[in-house]
A and B are shown apart, each in its own frame.
Chain A
Amino acid sequence: MDLIKKLHEIVGIDRATTSPMQLYCYSSDSSQIRGTPECVVRPQNTGQVSQVLRFANEHDIPVTARGAGTGLAGGAVALEGGIVLDLSGMDRILDIDINNLQVAVEPGVIHSRLNEVLGTEGFFFPPDPGSSEMCTLGGLIANNGSGMRSVKYGTTRSYVLDLEIVMADGSVINTGSKTLKSSAGYDLTRLMVGSEGTLGIITKAVLKILPLPKARTVVLASFDNPVLAGEAVVKTLSAGVIPSACEILDRATVEVLNAYDPNIAIPDAGATILFELDGTVSSVKEQAKIVEAVCMPFASGIRIAAGGEEMKEIWSARRLVGAAISRIDPNKTRVYVGEDIGVPIKEVPRMLKFIQSISGEFGLPIITYGHIGDGNLHTGMCIDMLDNEQWKQLDLAADKIHRTAIMLGGTVSAEHGIGSARSKYMRLERGNALDVMILIKRALDPRGILNPGKLGL
Chain B
Amino acid sequence: MLDLDLRSILKCVRCGACRSVCPVLEEVGWESAGARGRILVAHGISQGLDVDADVLESLNTCMTCGMCKQMCPAGANPTYVIENTRRQLVMRGEMTEAQRKLNERIMESGNSLGEVSDRRSWLSEYKGEIKETAGYVYFVGCLGAYRYPESVVATFDVLSRFDVTILPDEICCGSPLIRTGFDVDELIAHNIEQMRKVGAHTFITSCAGCHNTLIQSYPDEFEVMHVSEFLEQHLPELQLRRLKLTVTYHDACHLGRCRGVFDAPRRVIEAVCDLKEMKTNRENARCCGGGGGVRTGYPDLSLALAKKRLEEIPDGVDYLITSCPLCTKNLIEGGSDTDVLDLVELVRLAIE
A contact set with B: CB distance below 8 Å: 17, 19-22, 24-26, 28-30, 40, 42, 68-70, 86, 88-89, 110, 112, 131, 133-135, 260, 320-324, 326-327, 330-331, 333-336, 385-386
Contact = CB atoms under 8 A, between A and B. Distances in A.
B41 A25 contact: yes
Contacts of B14: 28-30, 69
Given A20-B49, A386-B6, A386-B7, A30 B55 contact: no
B174 interface: no
B146 to A, nearest CB: 36
Contact of A134 (B20, B52, B74, B75): B20
A30 B13 contact: yes
Contacts of A322: 15, 73
A326 B13 CA distance: 8
B11 A21 contact: no
Contact of A333 (B10, B19, B29, B31): B10
Interface string B27-41: 001111000010011
A324 B54 contact: no
Contacts of A20: 49-50, 52, 54
B349 to A, nearest CB: 38
Contacts of A21: 32, 41, 44, 49, 52, 54-55, 58
Contacts of B49: 20-21, 24
A372 B58 CA distance: 41
Given A25-B41, A333-B13, A336-B13, A133 B20 contact: yes
Kindly list the 10 A-B residue pairs having the minimum CB-CB distance in the complex, ordered from nearest: A320-B73, A326-B74, A323-B73, A70-B16, A133-B20, A21-B54, A25-B31, A324-B73, A24-B44, A327-B75
A335 B15 CA distance: 10
A35 to B, nearest CB: 14
Nearest to B58: A21
Contacts of A326: 11, 13, 73-76
B15 A131 contact: yes
Contact of A25 (B12, B37, B52, B75): B37
Contact of B40 (A28, A42, A327): A28
A320 B71 CA distance: 10
Contacts of A385: 7, 10
Given A25-B31, A42-B29, 4 more contacts: A20-B50, A24-B49, A320-B15, A386-B10
A110 B58 CA distance: 23
For the side of the interface on B, what is the size category? 20 to 34
Contacts of B76: 326
B17 interface: yes
Given A320-B73, A323-B74, A333-B11, A131 B30 contact: no
A193 to B, nearest CB: 21
Contacts of B6: 386
A25 B16 contact: no
A327 B15 CA distance: 14
A134 B19 contact: yes
A386 B9 CA distance: 12
A52 B97 CA distance: 36
Contacts of A134: 15-17, 19-20
B263 to A, nearest CB: 18
B74 A131 contact: no
B11 A260 contact: no
Contacts of B72: 323
B49 to A, nearest CB: 6
Interface in B234-283: none
B20 A334 contact: no
A3 to B, nearest CB: 18
Contacts of A30: 13-16
Given A24-B40, A25-B40, A110 B10 contact: no
B85 to A, nearest CB: 13
Interface in B182-238: none
A224 to B, nearest CB: 28
B32 A25 contact: yes
A321 B30 CA distance: 26
A42 B33 CA distance: 14
A26 B50 CA distance: 16
Contacts of B55: 21
Contacts of B41: 21, 24-25
12 contacts: A22-B30, A24-B40, A24-B49, A25-B30, A25-B37, A28-B14, A30-B13, A131-B16, A133-B17, A322-B15, A324-B75, A333-B12
A221 B92 CA distance: 57
A26 B40 CA distance: 9
Contact of A327 (B16, B54, B74): B74
B67 to A, nearest CB: 13
A323 B36 CA distance: 13
Contacts of B30: 17, 22, 25, 40, 42, 86
Most B CB within 10 A of own CB, among A89, A112, A385: A385
Nearest to A385: B10
Contact of A323 (B17, B29, B44, B50): B17
Contacts of B15: 30, 70, 131, 134, 320, 322-323
A72 to B, nearest CB: 9
A62 to B, nearest CB: 19
Interface string B62-98: 0000000000111110000000000000000000000
Contacts of A386: 6-7, 10
A110 B17 CA distance: 12
